[in-house]
Amino acid sequence: MNDDQRAALRQASVPDADLDSLETLNTTAVDCLIQRLEQAQDWQARELRSAMDGMLDAMPRLLRGPVKKLFER
């Protein structure tokens, strides 16, 4: 595993202890894993936004702004 792959896995929240176990994978497998992790994180972000929008739609208008501001990153 090269440094770029290691950095991409760290960015995908893979703990350092698990990075050592992934050393046995070949480059193609690591690239595939990185791609799948990025896809999963994108999907999760879309689902969270969708859930937040649904929650905000159920709230009274006056509360939407302050609640949205609380949960923004």
Amino acid 73: pLDDT: 59
Rounded (10°) CA dihedral 17, 20, 25, 29: 50
pLDDT tens digit sequence for 26-73: 999 999 999 999 999 999 999 998 998 899 999 999 999 998 888 875
Tokens 């501001």 map to which residue? Answer: 69
> Residue 8 contacts by C-beta under 8 Å, 6 or more apart in sequence?
34
Asked whether the predicted pLDDT for residue 15 surpasses 80, the reply is yes
CB distance 36 to 58 below 8 Å: no
Q: What is the CA radius of gyration of the chain?
A: 18
- What three-state secondary structure class fits 73? coil
Q: What is the pTM of this model?
A: 0.73
